[in-house]
Structure 1
Amino acid sequence: MILAARVLALAGYLGLLGLILVWTTWIDRPEIVPVSVALVILVLPLLFPLRGMLHGRRYTHAWSSLLALAYVTLGITLAAAADARLYGLLMTAASLAWFGGCLLYVKLDARRARQTTP
């Protein structure tokens, strides 16, 4: 079960990262700001938890779940706009998968750590 939670968190995280990169560079390039600025604003915060997420660190999963909520909010905001509805829905789904996977992983890993400690 703990492996499934970690896979869900990583799938949501990497899916969100890939979605933002693909959407911003190929599918719908921003018109107001340069692509590089949009990528820095959207992708740079996602790079901070990358190492801890890949190594399965519980603390990183805990604090990155709060970062996922920012992307949930952004996804819901974009989904409300008619021209970016699909992008917003996909972003919301990936962010919620990341958030739920992180919470479940932290809970199960903490439980496992308590059981193995004498």
Structure 2
Amino acid sequence: MNGPKFYHIGAAASLALLILWLLAWEMWVAPLKPGGSLLALKVIPLLLPLRGVIKRDVYTMQWSSMMILLYFAEGAVRAYSDIAPLSRFMAYGEIAFVCVYFACALLYLRPYKKAAKKMARELLDKVNRATHE
């Protein structure tokens, strides 16, 4: 499996698994209230980029890689502050899925960023040559 395909699958899978992980955490595994809590609604923002990530949309991968850092922060806070061991375990899982998604998204986007920089450099060189003539 080549690099971009591997990173795309890693990003899509980790995002889908993060959604399932968070739902399970807040509904069944360690909810704040027995029977589930409204905190499960935190998965809704993750559903927004899911389609674009699956379709390999570069713009979606860019903005979602920044948005997902909010979930890293939430996981870090809950891993540090939750008293229940099972809830802390779920927080560490959230952190792991976020890290996998972030790394895969950035590695998937790397060739696109290099190509954009190269095009910008060539355009700047062309403009500089035209102004000096």
Classify the TM-score, shorter chain.
0.7 to 0.9
Structure 1 residue 108, shift from structure 2 partner = 2.8
Q: What's the counterpart of residue 129 of structure 2?
A: none
Whether contact under 8 Å (1:5, 1:101) holds in the other structure is: yes
TM-score in terms of structure 1 length: 0.83
Deviations 1:30-49 (A, max 9, x none): 229x62x2122x11111110
Query: Sequence identity of aligned pairs in percent?
Result: 27
Deviation at 1:92, TM superposition (A): 0.2
Q: Number of paired residues?
A: 112
Instruction: Provide the TM-score with structure 2 as the length reference.
Output: 0.75
- Structure 1 CA distance for aligned equivalents of residues 115 and 57 of structure 2: 13
1:57 aligns with 2:57: yes
Bigger relative CO (Cα 8 Å, ≥ 6 apart): 1
- Residues 53-94 of structure 1: per-residue CA shift (max 9 Å, x gap): 110111100000011100111111111123221011000000
Aligned to 1:21: 23
Is it true that 1:93 corresponds to 2:88 in the alignment?
no
Question: Looking at CA atoms only, which structure, 1 or 2, has the larger radius of gyration?
Answer: 2
What do you get for the CA RMSD once the two structures are aligned? 2.1
2:100, 2:5 → 1: CA distance?
14
1:25 Cα offset (Å) = 1.2
Any runs of at least 4 consecutive aligned residues in structure 1 with deviations exceeding 3 A, and if so which? 109-115
Q: Is the 8 A contact 2:16 2:50 kept in 1?
A: no
Contact between 2:72 and 2:95, CA under 8 Å: does it hold in 1? yes
Is the 1:65–1:102 contact (alpha carbons within 8 Å) kept by the matching residues of 2? yes
What amino acid maps onto 2:95 in structure 1? T
What is the 5 A alignment of 1:1-118? 1-31=3-33, 35=37, 37-40=38-41, 42-81=42-81, 82-83=83-84, 84-111=87-114
Cα distance, 1:110 vs structure 2? 4.4
Q: Which runs of 5+ in 1 are unaligned?
A: none
Residues 2, 109 of structure 1: 8 Å contact kept: no
Which structure 2 residue ranges, 5 or more long, are not aligned? 119-133
